Amino acid sequence: MRYAILSDVHANRDALDRVLADIAAASIDCVACLGDFVGYGPEPNECVERLREVASPALAGNHDLAAIGAFDPVGFNLFARVAVEWTKAALTDASRRYLETLPARADWEGLLLVHGSPRQPVHEYLLDLEAADDNFRAEPFSICFFGHSHYPIWFVHDGIRTRMRSLPPNQPVQLESGYRHMVNVGSVGQPRDGDPRSGFVVYDTENRTVELRRLTYSVEAVQAKMQAVDLPRPLWERLAEGR
């Protein structure tokens, strides 16, 4: 089986359409979405509609919860809060109802799927070895896929210590048997690793490989849409820089 696992679309329809076209052209059996369908970007309803047709399982992210009023974004920066308020007003009833159904985590096909982390499925950022090690010790999963930080990275635990590895773009890497793994799938709509290309992963269950797919899309088109609805300038400027 080959699974496409994506996260952090953030209402960027142009990026999502590019990813879905790539998935359609590949031998993909299932699509999973790890949350943050909305927030930051200009087309939340379009992204929800596209993903609800293809993504199962699908999870809630912190921006999804904020947009439906289920989470107080007091810790968000000013620009993110402005985007949340704009998204709340823009969401259709159908989009809101769908986001309200999304769970915080999924144990699926032998995998643990979360938005943030195993111990805090929606809100925790996994960016360093100490936090990763604590999460390996918190739950007995073998392989976990997560998102939230928009930074594709791979943590490996050998039973004693945790190591951090990079995910080279468009190149399958082996998940060694006998080790435990946590893989950040990157961001479709707002990468933050210095690479503006969309990111998602393809997991091949037979070969136990993960491939970080990076795809170009028209950043300028999305920036123009964001400007047209008066979303804050820093939010659309950062798309071109992958941050």
Residues 63-106 have pLDDT tens digits of: 999 999 998 888 888 888 999 999 999 999 999 999 999 999 99
pLDDT for 165: 92
CATH code for the domain in which residue 135 is found = 3.60.21.10
Q: Quote the percentage of the chain above a pLDDT of 70.
A: 100
Average pLDDT over residues 129-157: 95
Supply the range of the domain harboring residue 155: 2-241
CA-wise closest residue to 243 among 197, 201, 183: 197
The C-alpha angle 205, 54, 57, rounded to 5 degrees, equals 60
Name the residue type at position 188: V
Q: Which residues contact 109 (CB under 8 A, 6 or more apart)?
A: 1, 3, 30, 205
User: Tokens standing for 190?
Assistant: 């707002």
Tell me the pLDDT of the chain averaged across its residues. 95
C-alpha distances out from residue 111 to 62, 97, 118, 146, 215, Å? 21, 27, 11, 11, 25
CA atoms within 13 A on the CB side of 100: 11
User: What pTM was computed for the model?
Assistant: 0.95
pLDDT above 90: residue 200: yes
Split at pLDDT 50, 70, 90, the class of 27 is confident
pLDDT for 242: 76
Question: 36, 64 in Cβ contact below 8 A?
Answer: yes
CA atoms of 1 and 206, how far apart (whole Å): 6
CA-wise closest residue to 34 among 110, 111, 125, 104: 104
Q: How many domains does the chain have?
A: 1
Average pLDDT over residues 14-23: 97
The residues facing 155 across adjacent strands are 164, 182
Q: Helix or strand or coil: residue 94? A: helix
**Which DSSP state fits 227?**
H
User: Tokens standing for 196?
Assistant: 């503006």
**Strand stretches in 42-86, DSSP E:** 55-58
pLDDT for 194: 92
Torsion angle (degrees, nearest 10) of CA 149, 191, 29, 112: -10
pLDDT above 90: residue 164: yes
